[in-house]
Amino acid sequence: MSVLVGKKAPVFFASAVVNGGEVVENFSLKDYVGKKYVIFFFYPADFTFVCPTEIIAFQDNIKEFEKRNVAVVGCSVDSKHSHWKWLQTERNDGGIKGVKYPLVADPALTISENYGVLAGEYFYEEDDENEEIMFHGTPEAYRGLFLIDKAGVVRHQVVNDMPLGRSIQETLRMVDALQFFEKNGEVCPADWHSGDKAIKETHEGIAAFLSKK
């Protein structure tokens, strides 16, 4: 599994469903570079159980992300047609109708693989009669989440196993921490929240912080 923190987010061009029903070809996170921060998250599959709770929770908090100049983008290995259908399905029927941010389609598994969240891997198998590319594992993505800054660099990532839903509030906390550091040049200690004291990166700074605890 890749650690992408400190590196440029892998570039892709793919189909996506935006605004709850509009299919866009050649969607790319490059469109946000220089303009917005991005929360790019992966989920295993459409029409499942934990996934809609996360997807809807991001939508329910979308104003908080927009207030911080953050674009939210989801991705799974499903097709654009599956995304579209799920987005048209009422929530009481297991759908996610009302979600407006982009959902990227990755049926070829390449985006998930490039971000290091694919729950399996390809391998080459050869014998005297056959040569074949095989896939070992589950052809779905783990619950990966990447905070990408306005320069297109990954600044935070977290990957959960499929049964483990993520915390949207923790995601917002990490956005706040990054933006606070960028603005003030002070680093954010354990369990830091907006409004808390931060630390100057000096021996005196950490001593002063710890002496107040």
Active-site residue, selected from the candidate residues 51, 55, 77, 178: 51
Active site residue 188: no
Question: SS in 3 state form for the chain?
Answer: CCCCCCCECCCCCEEEEECCCEEEEEECHHHHCCCCEEEEEECCCCCCCHHHHHHHHHHHCHHHHHHCCEEEEEEECCCHHHHHHHHHCCHHHCCCCCCCCCEEECCCCHHHHHCCCEEEEEEEEECCCCEEEEEEEEEEECEEEEEECCCCEEEEEEEECCCCCCCHHHHHHHHHHHHHHHHHCCECCCCCCCCCCCECCCHHHHHHHHHCC
- Which residues are known to be catalytic? 51
